[in-house]
A and B are shown apart, each in its own frame.
Chain A
Amino acid sequence: EAGVTQFPSHSVIEKGQTVTLRCDPISGHDNLYWYRRVMGKEIKFLLHFVKESKQDESGMPNNRFLAERTGGTYSTLKVQPAELEDSGVYFCASSQVYGANYGYTFGSGTRLTVV
C-alpha cells in the first residue's frame, strides 16, 4: 500500500510569490488533513477534508491560504501571497475514519522557505 505522498519535498520562494503544495492520500482514505510546523512551535492543525468537503478549517491562519480537494482524491494547499512567517514544514495526513481509533498516516512533509 502506497503511503501519503507530498510534493514538492522542498520549496524556496520569495515573499509575495505563490506556492502550491500537493498531497496524495492513501487510496480509499476519505479523510485528509493538513498540518504545519513553523520554527520552534508544535505541529498545528490547519484543516480537515472528508472526501471533497471541508469538515473543519478552523486552523487555517488567514485568507492567504486556500485548500482544495477536487473529486475527493488529492489535495492542494496554496499560499498566495507568501509571507516570511509562512516558512515551515507542511504535513499532510490521511485516515480511514476520524474521531475513532484508527490513527493517522502522515506524509514526509513539504519544507517551505519564504525569503
Chain B
Amino acid sequence: KQEVTQIPAALSVPEGENLVLNCSFTDSAIYNLQWFRQDPGKGLTSLLLIQSSQREQTSGRLNASLDKSSGRSTLYIAASQPGDSATYLCAANPYSSASKIIFGSGTRLSIRP
C-alpha cells in the first residue's frame, strides 16, 4: 500500500532564502509524482508533474526532483517570496491503483518579509 509522507509539517523562512520541501513514498512503482500548491480556502494548483522516467522538472523558481529508488522527491524553491506562502502537497500515482493519487499531508510554508 502506497504511503506518502511530507516533512516538515510546517516551515517558516525569511524572504529571499532558497528552500527544499521533502516528500517520501513507500512504493517506487509509480506512474508519476505531482506537486501541488494550496492557498487558504482555495483549490489545488498543480505546480510540477514528474513522470516516472524523469529525474526532475523545472518551472521558473521551482525545481522538483524524483528518485524512485530511494522513494524521495524534493521541491526546491529559489529566492523565496512572501507570495510563496501556502501549503505544498505532493501526490504519487501508483501502478497498483491507477485510478487514484495518494497525497501527503502537506508542508505549510510561511515566508517572512
Chain A residues at the B interface, C-beta cutoff of 8 Å: 6, 33, 35, 41-45, 48, 55-56, 58-59, 91, 93, 98-109, 111
In the complex, chain B residues 1-57 whose Cβ is within 8 Å of any chain A Cβ: 4, 31-32, 34, 36, 41-46, 49, 51-52
Q: A33-B100, A56-B100, A100-B31 are in contact. Are A106 and B51 (CB under 8 A)?
A: no
- Alpha-carbon gap, A76 to B98, bound state (A): 22
B: interface residue count bin:
20 to 34
Chain B residues at the A interface, C-beta cutoff of 8 Å: 4, 31-32, 34, 36, 41-46, 49, 51-52, 89, 91, 93, 95, 97-106
Interchain CB contact under 8 A, B99 and A91:
no
Point out the residue from B36, B43, B91 that lies within 8 Å of A107, measured CB to CB.
B43
* B66 CB, min distance to chain A CBs, angstroms: 12
Number of inter-chain CB pairs below 8 Å = 64
Q: A43-B103, A44-B103 are in contact. Are A99 and B93 (CB under 8 A)?
A: yes
Point out the residue from A41, A99, A105 that lies within 8 Å of B46, measured CB to CB.
A105
A42: B residues at CB distance < 8 A: 4, 103-106
Q: A42-B105, A99-B93, A103-B34 are in contact. Are A48 and B46 (CB under 8 A)?
A: no
6 closest residue pairs by CB, A with B: A99-B98, A108-B43, A56-B99, A45-B100, A106-B44, A48-B99
Interchain CB contact under 8 A, B89 and A43:
yes
Interchain CB contact under 8 A, B100 and A103:
no
